Amino acid sequence: MGKVYVFDHPLIQHKLTYIRNKETGTKEFRELIDEVAGLMAYEITRDLPLMDTTVETPVATAKAKVLEGKKLGIIPILRAGLGMVDGIKQLIPTARVGHVGLYRDPETLQPVEYYVKLPSDIEERELLVVDPMLATGGSAVEAIHSLKKRGAKNIRLICIIAAPEGVELVTKEHPDVDIYLAAQDERLNEKGYIIPGLGDAGDRLFGTK
C-alpha cells in the first residue's frame, strides 16, 4: 500500500498559511507555491543515492560524495501543476519535465487525456507527478495511469493540499505510488472544492477566473 507523508516542516506550514489566505495576490501566490514545492522536493529527495568520490580542495584531497545520478522527471498535471515545476527545478536542474493534460468529460464527468508529452526514457526515471490540489483524485489517478501505460515504473505524487477522498482513491487505484502533502484537509464540498483548501489553484496561479 502506498504511503502518505504530510510534511510538518515549519517553513512549509508557515508558507502554506499565506497560500491559503484569500488576500494573497497572484504574484505572491505563485512565489509561495514554488517555494513550498521546492521545500517538499528537498524532503522527498532525502533518499537519493550517493556515491563516493574525492575532491581537491585548495589544501588537500577530501573524501566526498556526489549524487549517483538517478534520473528524475517532473510531470505537472496541466494546468495548476505547472506552478510547482520551477521550485523543484531549482533544486534538481537536470530533471526532465513531461506534461499530462486532462479535461473532464461533461457527460461522463471522467477525466480524459488531451495532451501527453514525456521524456523518451520514462521507464528509467523516478517521476514526481505534481498537482497542487488532490481533490477527488480522478485526475491524479488518470495521469498516473497514462504514465504507467507508457512504461513508467517509479512514480511519486506531490500535492500541496489533499482531501481525504483523493488520497483514498489514489492509494486504492495505485497502491505502488507514495503521496507527499503539505496538508490533508477536511473534505470536499458539493462543488468539488477542498475545504478549507485555498480556492482554485489554477485561477490563483494564472490570475484567471
Chain residues in the site for ligand URA (CB under 6 A):
80, 133, 135, 192-194, 197, 200-202
- Residue 125 assigned ligand-binding role: no
Please say which residue, 128 or 133, places its beta carbon nearer to ligand URA.
Answer: 133
- Residue 138 assigned ligand-binding role: yes
* Whether residue 105 lies in the annotated active site: no
**Rounded-to-integer distance, Cα 208 and Cα 185, Å:** 24
Determine which one of 52, 203, 204, 208 is catalytic: 203
Determine which one of 57, 108, 125, 187 is catalytic: 108
Please say which residue, 2 or 202, places its beta carbon nearer to ligand URA.
Answer: 202
CB of 105 to ligand URA, least distance (A): 17
Task: Return the residue matching grid coordinates 494546468.
Answer: 79
Determine which one of 24, 104, 176, 178 is catalytic: 104
CB of 45 to ligand URA, least distance (A): 26
* Whether residue 121 lies in the annotated active site: no
Task: Return the residue matching grid coordinates 489517478.
Answer: 141
* Whether residue 125 lies in the annotated active site: no
CB of 85 to ligand URA, least distance (A): 16
CB of 133 to ligand URA, least distance (A): 4
Q: Which residues are annotated as a binding site for uracil?
A: 194, 199-201
Q: Which residues are catalytic?
A: 104, 108, 200, 203
